[in-house]
Chain A
């Protein structure tokens, strides 16, 4: 009896393994939906339940089902408006893409978007959010692409700073900074940092200078950066073809 039960359990486990393997390779989007359901919604107040943006106190207010449903609908509308506010009108040469998911561990900072080779996207394409350069396309699939953001440790990109166009090298990471700035270069807090890399449109804004300091070897200046957005809240991007 015990052996029979173990055999039955193995059959069930085997069936689940096959089903999950098929889902992983042929229907990964269902996994992304589960992940989206488990993740907090961007722009929701803390304490909100995942995926609904409804605070516990408002859903219990009045104790009437219609009032609660009204509050839930208002919250969902607010959530959609957050996304809509990130959808500027498209221009020629740009492809709008939604962010499917993010790299789940802390080794990389990458986004997975729903535009790919079939949309004219190629590796190295610039990716912008509300006019700001946030990264480059690293890998392309037929209908999706992987975007390496400037918060990725391995990203390095030539940039220029301010009206004088001081040259620097943007170093990606949790706290991106611009290094290799000549000591004599006039760099001040508030100056705009913009792209100057091959393959990317020139002068795409990236960030502003927060503060300047001397590099550890005292040979260069370096600048810490301020960003007007939270990369974790990005839901839509534009990819420049």
Chain B
């Protein structure tokens, strides 16, 4: 349990590094959000809140968290609620949760930009799916 928690923190740091490295090349992929959504399938609300707040702490770019960061933090919690309500534990839950989570993020924060730039959304989702899948496989193996 503790090992999984520490591993998740390392995965989150890796997601942060990847997101910032890609952003420096003008490619924006929400690796951090993908990781948090996958974490919702493995951790309880308390641990998930720790991960979310750590991500917000690193990603937050202004002295006071904005509505964008609030939406960013709510989505993994929504994924946890959905996971608990539906009890959907198979690996197919990961891509569905990530696609829905990303869609919710775009529609909540910048619906006009989303409608005008489909390709950016698709690149973001693709990167999130690949990274989220790897995170799921890693945590699932540890659970086994």
Contacts and interface: CB of A to CB of B under 8 A. Distances in A.
Interface centre among B1, B25, B49, B116 (most CB of A within 10 A): B49
Contacts of A104: 19-20, 23, 59, 61
A101 B110 CA distance: 20
What bracket does the count of chain B residues touching chain A fall in?
A: 35 or more
A24 B65 contact: yes
Contacts of A202: none
Contacts of A24: 53, 56-57, 60, 65
What is the interface of chain B mostly: helix, strand, loop, or mixed?
helix
A30 B47 CA distance: 21
Interface stretch (A56-64, A105-113, A159-167, A207-215): A105-113
Contacts of B24: 39-40, 42, 232
A40 B46 contact: no
B64 A25 contact: yes
A28 interface: yes
Interface stretch (A12-20, A119-127, A191-199): A12-20
Contacts of B21: 39-40, 50
What bracket does the count of chain A residues touching chain B fall in?
A: 35 or more
Interface string A158-182: 0000000000000000100000000
A28 B20 contact: no
Contact of B26 (A14, A100, A174): A174
Given A32-B61, A141-B63, A174-B26, A38 B50 contact: no
A20 B60 contact: no
A13 B26 CA distance: 35
Contact of B1 (A9, A42, A105): A9
A200 B105 CA distance: 33
B109 A107 contact: yes
A20 B50 contact: yes
B58 A38 contact: yes
Interface string B23-59: 1111010100000000000000011011001101111
B46 A107 contact: no
Interface string A136-167: 00000100101000000100000000000000
A13 B50 contact: yes
B26 A39 contact: no
Contacts of B23: 39, 102, 104, 232
B99 interface: no
Given A100-B61, A104-B19, A105-B28, 12 more contacts: A24-B53, A24-B60, A32-B61, A34-B57, A34-B58, A39-B21, A42-B24, A102-B23, A103-B61, A106-B28, A106-B124, A141-B62
Interface of A: 5, 9-10, 13-14, 16-17, 20-21, 23-25, 28, 30-32, 34-35, 38-40, 42, 50, 100-108, 110, 112, 141, 144, 146, 153, 174, 232
